[in-house]
Structure 1
């Protein structure tokens, strides 16, 4: 782990700089130490040299005592001089780091200093102190002081010489350390420059040269990997990039061709999906739809035959709706299959797309498809809203394998076909429901008008037969006008019904169509009609407008038949809510009595059913002798734009 960490460039650079700093600090520290020691030695030489002067001064003071001067003053000076020398000796012994002042820490100098101190304390200082204390001093005593002073001075000189020789040696090492520091600075600078060039500049230069060659599309360039540091990793990454770029450029044409082929396939798939979806949206029969669908997918997949089968869930039958490329014998054999029969019937049970390779089946000789030369049969299901409607087959005389994308495409096409078939069925059901509702309204209209008229005529004919049998001619004369009036009324009802059934919206708008209906009502009934509209009645879907028109026609028909009115008011108000009203000044009726009739009054029920179709509200307002008003209101929340 440590070796791996040392291989990092940053670790190596930091280690190199720290090593250089440590060596430099050691040399600088040694230089400072030698300088400090030399300063202390120089101060020690000065102090030790002052001992000689103090010793000679001590000898001179001793001579003054001998010459008989002021003995007391001379003795005091002699004591002071002794104390000065004692202090100097103590200073040399303990040293003074602040000055600095100290004896060099060598054994020879320490021994020499010990001898000087011993000479002073044991040899020179005792006779001098005795001289200062004596009343009379013999000549021999003074001679002894002078001799011992000379010996002490010689020992001090020896100490000073030793210190000077030691200082010379330290001065030499100081110069040597300074020269070493200078050499270290030069060598270190050169070494750092070389190492930095070797570790940083040279790899960066090689990388730059490699990038230049790479820019010139020379993908054969490779960088030497001679280390495991960051530049080594960068060189390996550059080489890998060069390998990938070289491989990419070498295979670029092939990849472009492959991508182009894939895009073409996708475009062909999209074109097939778009073409199939557009075709299936057209209004056509189921056979034409399935035939066009089968033709398109067969051309796309280059199939040799195919068929579309529809499932009858009530009888579990599979009916072949369309086919192509199949023999008449195969078509007759498999025109109607039971669920579970043959390969196709088995696929219905599993409800999964199946591709059969007939050459690998054990019972292939028993299959009519294989006997006719087909090698591969694919079965894809037709679904709509998770409802299984059938499946379609593609037959191939050569062994064919479908990719996942092709299988997904065929399954999507099966869903498109299933949706189209289901939409066609729903449209048929809607048409049947609309026809049934219109027939119901026609039946109600016939019952409300013609059926009642015919019933009246039937009663009059029976009465006519009875009168003729009884030879009551007066009754016959009264019955014949009633018959003529009944026939005329029925004729008018038939014309009115035919007119209502043929009514269509004009090219203009709802108001224009209402004006046409009102004008025709005026001409046919002779009743005055006041029509007023504050807008064109838009926006409404055409079906809604047509139902509104039918309601107005039915309301006017009821006015003609039952109200005996001389004036009718038709109002259209298009504000927040849409309101359409038809009011007359006829004799009116009791609404409670009308409610008691229930379904018997077909005209009112027809208007209510038409109002319910468009989510409108229909209200009847009437009273005996006060006329009748039919009000249709469509709230704003129920209005739907066309």
Structure 2
């Protein structure tokens, strides 16, 4: 066999479609499948024919039986059984019709043979022209001898039809057995052929490859495999030979390669260590100045820079303000304290978004000349970014000419992204704290408006009326106004004390129940009202302190509303801490009509405060109020909204 090395060399990656081993295997499998499916289909067809003919034999045999039964009935004919005679005749006609048409679903059909079809027509004609008319005449009261004379002829023809079908079935049965024997022989021959082809196409090349690998493992790099085919194993053998050639060359340079890889891994480990150390530092809770100083010092130490600075972009996005610097003189810091964005990002831009300035003489900016006067020969500027937004830049100054490799540039860019994320996180944390303070102040303002402001407004009105009464010297009206003023001052004083107590409320882990009991006890002392507390917290875990505090504020606000508006004599507080946390506050006061209040456009500030606190908890607050039936407030904190304790 000619060695096809040249052809394989032209298509090492993939042999031609007609030469592929997969093509041979698929073609052989498809051919074997086609032969097997053909034989199976042939045997199935024979089986179906035999089954249909067997059913036809049964129905043809029933023709004789039913004809004899009709004869017996005619011999025993009486006027009381005409319906049974008609049923027997109709069944005979149906059987003849089925045999003629066939019933594929059973299956039932006559063999496709002209003689059998002719015999079937003869049987049907004998019945329809002789026996059936004679039977019908007998049913009309005539003599039955005509039917009995024609009956033997019909039975004989039906017997002949059955024998013909059985003879045809016997031949098909023999043919089915022969087909099965042929199929068995094909299976045996096909199996042997498949074993031989698998050995020839796969096992033998694999054994050659295994032997080559064994010798290669024994460091016999001069071993080569014979390329005897153009299929995948031929390509594999050619590739093995090329690999052996490459290994011979690599083995000679192995020590140099190992040293290079070792240095590369050491550099990667150094970069990973720098990233880990920087990430750990940036995640520490420090202020921005300490964060920037620590970042700059670590970067300069890591990359042997002689100076460095960090700048942030002003809100207008036009200038960069110096935040921290290391290794720069005071005059250079003053010069670079406020730079234009375009001046900072001029120079040679790399693919990583890094700006590297190697020759200051090519730059007209005064800042570059100041750097050159300070003795710096190189400058690298990197963007500080987060979420595709540029927050600023950090620069590294080098007193000697310094090239920034692509790997270092990518690492520095990544460090800039880490710094940007850390700065952005601290800004967001500050904004979150400011927002929380603003929201709490809003709730405080609403509480003051609902209590102190309304009380002061009432006192102001009464003072105006008192001043008017004094001007008129109406002592009676003065005596009426003074108690109202005293009551208003007392209520305002109670409101102030209540707000101060609410603002000073602090809870630890699991301290909610004690705080609730203290709040209810204080409410009883202030109002003298009977308050029933029902608690069930056997199944649920305690809420975390922040959620407990919000629940306590809602309870305090609800009790304050009862004291001010409800005119109630009794209140109930229910707390159920199961899978969901529920708190219900009820009173037996005067209540109100929600629809009527809504139509008047009134807004209850206390209820609004409770709703905002419930929203902060991701809880639902349901109010149920009716005139004369009191008010019920239900707070539900679902299990999905409960924070981890």
Quote the residue 1:353 is aligned against.
354
2:4 and 2:558 map into 1 onto residues whose CA distance is 102
TM-score under structure 1 normalisation?
Answer: 0.60
Q: Which residue of 2 is the match for residue 628 of structure 1?
A: 631
Residues 29-428 of structure 1: pairs in structure 2 closer than 5 A? 252-340=254-342, 342-344=343-345, 352-358=353-359, 361=362, 363=364, 367-428=369-430
TM score, norm. by length of structure 2: 0.60
1:491 aligns with 2:493: yes
- Cα 1:439–1:290 change in 2 (3 A) is same
Instruction: After TM superposition, give the deviation of residue 546 of structure 1 in Å.
Output: 2.4
Unaligned residue ranges in structure 1 (runs of 5+): 8-203
When residues 597 and 312 of structure 1 are mapped into structure 2, their CA distance, relative to the original with a 3 A threshold, is: farther
Q: Tell me how far apart the structure 1 counterparts of residues 399 and 541 of structure 2 sit (CA, whole Å).
A: 62
Q: 1:345 to 1:399 in 2, by over 3 A?
A: closer
Q: Is the 8 A contact 2:355 2:382 kept in 1?
A: yes
Aligned-pair distance for 1:577?
A: 4.4
**Are 2:541 and 1:538 equivalent residues in the alignment?**
yes
Q: Cα distance, 1:371 vs. partner?
A: 1.8
CA deviations on 1:298-336 (whole Å, 9 max, x unpaired) are: 110011111111112525111111111111111111211
Alignment match, 1:588: 591
The CA RMSD over aligned residues, in Å, is: 3.9
Give the Å deviation of 1:349: 13
Change over 3 Å in CA distance of 1:433–1:506 after alignment to 2: same
- State the 1:588 CA deviation: 2.2
CA offset at residue 593 of structure 1?
A: 3.5
Aligned ranges for residues 594-605 of structure 1 at < 5 Å?
594-596=597-599, 598=601, 600-605=603-608
Matching residue within 424, 428, 436 for 1:434: 436
Aligned-pair distance for 1:527? 2.2
Q: What residue number does 1:41 align with?
A: none
Change (3 A) 1:397 1:629: same
1:280 shift after superposition: 1.4
Unaligned runs of 5+ in 2: 7-207, 230-235
Q: Whose radius of gyration is greater, 1 or 2?
A: 1
Contact map agreement 1:590 1:624 (CA 8 A) in 2: yes
> Which has the higher mean CA deviation after the structures are superposed, 559-568 or 477-486?
477-486
Aligned to 2:612: 609
Closer/same/farther in 2, CA of residues 354 and 450 from structure 1, 3 Å limit: same
Kindly provide the CA deviation profile for residues 429-453 of structure 1, in whole angstroms up to 9, marking residues without a partner as x: 2112111111111110000000111
- Local SS of the residue matching 2:345: helix
Q: 1:292: how far off?
A: 1.1
CA distance in 1, matches of 2:227, 2:576: 92
Provide the rounded CA distance (Å) in 1 between the counterparts of 2:612 and 2:549.
Answer: 13
Q: 1:349 to 1:293 in 2, by over 3 A?
A: same
Q: Secondary structure at the match of 1:367?
A: helix
Matches within 5 A, 1:446-525: 446-525=448-527
- Summarize the Cα distance change of 1:590–1:258 in structure 2 as closer, same or farther, 3 Å threshold: same
How many residue pairs get matched? 434
Which of 442-451 and 365-374 deviates more? 365-374
In the alignment, the residues of structure 1 paired with residue 263 and residue 441 of structure 2 have an alpha-carbon distance, to the nearest angstrom, of 59
User: Aligned to 2:550, which of 547, 550, 561?
Assistant: 547
Displacement, 1:514?
2.4
